[in-house]
Amino acid sequence: MKSLLLFLSLLASNTMAGQLWRGDFETGDLSQWPYLTHPQGISIQSDCVYEGNYAADITITGAESFLWHGNPDLNRSELHFKPADTREGADVFLGWSFFLPQPLSVAKHEFGYWEAQDSWQQQMRFNIHGTALSFQASGADSAYWHLPDGASAGVWHDLAMHIHFSLAPNLGRVTIWHDGIKVFNQTMQTRANKTDAMFTQIGLLRSREDSAATLLIDNARQSDSIESLLAAFDPNTKVTCSPYKKSVPLNHD
């Protein structure tokens, strides 16, 4: 028994080692995230989690309250995080786990993107169309990487990113792991300009639709190395939480 307890303690220690920030909602609220876009769409629930006791439920509808300044092209609710250092030459290791109770509509849903702090210029993003997951430079006409079932519903998925920030297309680099497997590694411009810090927003952003869309987020983390980042992904975790039905949310204040 002592050996088992020691093993579990070492495993937990190794998983947490090297982590710079956690956004896993284990505080029971949204206090780990410094800013929320349309927080009325975000609640904490314990019915379906990737790890621990809590995860976030992000649900949007076509209601006026989910339109950013009334703009029908900005139907959204998102979590906001800004790493401490995104200057030229900086490296950021960031990841999160996500779950779709039902496939999203085939319309474009931006669910994880990087943007400049002061100019509000979006630089790169993940998209979901139905169950298809893709990644692209925001100004590009097509995706750099596409996985038809990368956002399949009813099962937890994990994304991990290593971003080397640079304004130069031949110096910046993005490497992506999907469910622990490296799927993308390419040089590209990763900073919007010379001055603005970069931040990420994770959630749902689409053009207005009448239908509701729900996304669960858990296990968000920033680490100081890719080894530490990927250690928070457990390939043996096959949590389905199906069917997931949104229950009365916990207080998100």
CATH assignment of the domain containing 127: 2.60.120.200
Query: Is the bond preceding 101 in cis, omega lying within 30 degrees of 0?
Result: no
| Domain presence at residue 241 | no
Residue 242 placed within a domain: no
Q: Determine, yes or no, domain membership for 175.
A: yes
Range list of β-strands (E), the chain: 19-23, 35-37, 42-45, 55-60, 75-81, 91-99, 109-116, 122-129, 132-137, 145-147, 157-164, 173-178, 181-187, 198-206, 213-223
Two tokens at 3?
């050996």
pLDDT along the chain (253 residues), means of 10: 41 64 97 96 95 96 95 97 98 97 96 96 97 96 95 95 98 97 97 97 97 96 97 78 63 43
pLDDT value for 243: 76
Q: 245: closest CA among 218, 212, 219? A: 212
Could you tell me if residue 13 is inside a domain? yes
When divided into structural domains, the chain yields a total of: 1
| In-domain check, residue 239 | no
Which pLDDT value is given to residue 11? 43
Query: Does the residue 250 lie in any domain?
Result: no
- The residue whose two tokens read 């410094």 is 34
Closest-CA residue to 220 (of 1, 56, 61, 85): 56
pTM of the model as a whole: 0.90
Asked if the structure places residue 182 within a domain, the reply is yes
In a domain, 253, yes or no: no
- End-to-end, the C-alpha distance of the chain in Å comes to 41
Domain containing 141: what range?
2-231
